[in-house]
Structure 1
């Protein structure tokens, strides 16, 4: 666990209902309601991640520069505590997990929306188990 990857964020909630298109590994697309955009800064640069409903938490599907080498090629998942009254929460990238697709070819997993492809090398979280789906390498 690295404190560097536990990053304060704020949730910018949409003024009007907004949706996110999520395409899965088979190319099928479904529409999810957006819960807002998680805005955070890392090394002086601002980034945004679209969040959907994760039950008691927010759910983020994202990609970064480690996909296909150090981490699963199709991206990773992150559950984030819902923000407090002030709209603030924490993105703890140490808690990133691989989707079920990383473990079996019999799963159908959503891919990160294009806005959730971070130009960062996030070294925290779950790493690649054994890359079986080379078609998802970046």
Structure 2
């Protein structure tokens, strides 16, 4: 499924979801029906693939770590998400698309809330991690 989603931006006939996301991030929506250039298609495909990989990582590794209270994984995920947020936000503002920071803030909050609210497991306390 993620391979199909990653290919959406590079197939003109079905790239509407990619155009909608890209145009919404660069508010207001005013280029929705403009075709994507090859560079945008490439970067969108790369970004889609990375997001699919992150979703699998979060679901397969981080969610079980939250359930188990495994703080090394939780802390590393928090740091990784904050680093992504800062780099992406600075890049968005520098490129003139500061509205993307709003979308990123919502996404960051949705990821960080369960991470920050996770409790350490009893075993983690005994081991001293």
**TM-score, with normalisation over the residues of structure 1?**
0.27
Structure number with bigger Rg: 2
Between structures 1 and 2, the one with greater helix share: 2
**Bigger relative contact order (CA 8 A; separation at least 6):** 1
